[in-house]
Amino acid sequence: MEDLILKKEISDRRLFGEFWTARQRQSHSLHYAVSYRASFKPELPSFFFSEFLTKKASVVMDPFGGRGTTAIQANLEGHYAIHNDVNPLSIFLAKSRSQIPSKDSLIKTLKNVDLSSKPKEEELDEALLAFYHKDTLREIKNFRNFCDENSSPETNFLKLVTLSRLHGHSPGFFSVYSFPQVSIPAIQQRKNNSKKGILPEYRAILPRIESKLKRDLADSLPPFYHEFSGKNQYYLSSTENMDQIPSESADLLVTSPPFLDKVDYKNDNWIRHWFLGIPDEQTDKISMFSSIDEWTNFMTNTLKSSARILKRNSYLVIEVGEVKKGKNVIPLDDYVVEAGIRSGLTWSRTYINTQKFTKLSNCWNVDNNEKGTNSNRCVVLQKI
Ligand SMILES: C[S@@+](CC[C@H](N)C(=O)[O-])C[C@H]1O[C@@H](n2cnc3c(N)ncnc32)[C@H](O)[C@@H]1O
């Protein structure tokens, strides 16, 4: 009997529905300036802002900030953001969008760049030539040097746009045919090139940057955007130790942690790290876990340190997916609930976003939902 009551209580706290759209690229163009592995849709934080924020100009925090989806959406909706991540790449991706220059000033900056000089040879040249024609690589290096020597909101934004063009599968990218979100190892790229019978051809970078920046800035910004983005806080720290972020300073947390070892943020971004000059040792602290116990301990510590930063009664929304390990599927949301309770937080509910095609006849029925994709599971915890 007690078991039945517990099961009922658990199922009452699981909400199924299409809470935010499953359609691609429906949000502000600024979000799509750069792609990032395992980023969530801007509609996800937006949904939780409307669920849990009671006033404008609130403070939203994302401790695993990634490409800055939460922070940018917060600013677009008139809130401040605290963006934290352990990878300097993430801080750059988010911060470079805190000050958005005008299209005209960006294009004017591009016109002043001279890409003709011969840049210094670098250790990674050989690997990079698996992706780029030598003249394209020369242009990329010269452009990076120009941006570094003339640091400004314009060059920061242009660097961001450049990051998004480094490799991909269409002629809009600088590289030979490759993957847009993952920097594969050079050896793998060489194999792919010879299998396809292709070699990197020259791709002029400036026109590609210009046409991409026009797409990124296609949507106009709300007039209040900079008022909020200008006061964002950016922190480079591991979530287990965020001591430099003031206590009780955030009204809501929306985040998505690494899913065990599903994404290798260090190696998958090696070309972006090279372009930004991020040394290897600065990406060593990115967490990856092979066991669920280790992950749950990490999440317990993360939730404890996050709870300190949140105001009393605020909510923490943690998005996780189901992770396949061998033949087993690990429902990470259950472990987040466990970690939350261990950290002294209260489990409020879990939202399971279902896509249109999964249309459930009975949206409360867990078994039914197994037919659909359950990849977006958002555990909501509360600091009481
Ligand atoms: C799933 S991604 C977050 C994506 C983000 N929601 C977005 O939309 O871009 C997880 C992030 O956690 C970061 N990360 C990994 N270990 C970390 C740690 N110990 N502390 C802080 N951030 C960490 C990774 O660098 C990565 O950016």
Domain boundaries, the chain: 12-87+221-263+286-382, 103-216
Q: Residue 200: CB within 6 Å of ligand 1?
A: no
| Residues 285-323: tens digit of each pLDDT | 999 998 899 999 999 999 999 999 999 999 999 999 878
Report helix, strand or coil for 19.
coil
What is the predicted pLDDT for the residue at 365?
35
What is the third-level CATH fold of 12-87+221-263+286-382? Rossmann fold (3.40.50)
CA of 66 to the centre of ligand 1 (A): 5
Name which of 236, 254, 213 is nearest 39 in CA terms.
254
CA of 195 to the centre of ligand 1 (A): 34
Which residue has the least CA distance to atom 3 on ligand 1? Answer: 66
What is the predicted pLDDT for the residue at 368?
36
In the sheet that 346-353 helps form, which strands lie side by side, from edge to edge? 14-17, 346-353, 376-382, 310-320, 250-255, 59-62, 80-85, 233-236
Q: How many beta carbons lie within 10 A of that of residue 177, not counting itself?
A: 17
Name which of 192, 172, 174 is nearest 184 in CA terms.
192
| Residues 213-271: tens digit of each pLDDT | 999 999 999 999 999 999 999 999 999 999 999 999 999 999 999 988 888 999 999 99
Mutate to test the pocket of ligand 1, among 62, 83, 234, 286 (most ligand atoms within 8 A of CB): 286
Tell me the pTM: 0.93
Q: Residue 273: CB within 6 Å of ligand 1?
A: no
CA of 317 to the centre of ligand 1 (A): 14
Q: Residue 48: CB within 6 Å of ligand 1?
A: no
Report the share of the chain in percent with pLDDT over 70: 92
C-alpha distances (whole Å) from 167 to each of 66, 68, 163, 208, 308 are 19, 21, 9, 12, 40
CA of 357 to the centre of ligand 1 (A): 29
Least confident interval from 24-33, 185-194, 329-338, 356-365: 356-365
Q: Is the dihedral of CA 126, 128, 130, 133 positive or negative?
A: negative
